[in-house]
Amino acid sequence: MRLRTVLVVLMIVMVSAFATINWQAFLAPTTLSLLFTSFDAPLGLVMLGILTFVVVAFALYMAVWQSTILIESRRHAKELQQQRMLAEQAEASRFTELRALLHDEVERLGDRLAQVQESLRTEIRENGNSLAANIAEMDDRLRGGGPG
């Protein structure tokens, strides 16, 4: 139990014990005044009734307050869950978008690589043809059949 609950229970037990021990004094009749009228009643019993009413009223107030807090905390928990779900959906959307962006980028790089490879093949072919022509010219010169 919490310390507050223990203290409240302890105070109620102490008041009950005090009322039980002094029950005869609690029942002694006294003239009580309410400004506009007077009546005879046991003052101790009236005060005990007022104390009981205050304790019950306070207990009801605390119960209502605690239930309000509980309802409010549940509402906050639901809102937090909804916000968490929205954040997760946004994150999943960002991952999907990133995946699509990366896929497009890889395709562009693949296309660019294919172009570069084709360009390189063409250049190698041209250089090979040029080299073959130069070698053939040199061969003709060495055999003496060429100009020069």
Neighbouring C-alpha atoms within 13 Å toward the C-beta of 72? 6
Integer Cα distance of 55 and 65 in angstroms: 15
pTM of the predicted protein model: 0.54
- Distance CA(42)–CA(11), nearest Å, equals 23
Q: Give me the mean pLDDT over the 43-52 stretch.
A: 89
Write the pLDDT tens digit of every residue in 105-135: 999 999 999 999 999 999 999 999 999 999 9
The two structure tokens encoding residue 84: 């968490």
pLDDT of 146 over the 60 cut: no
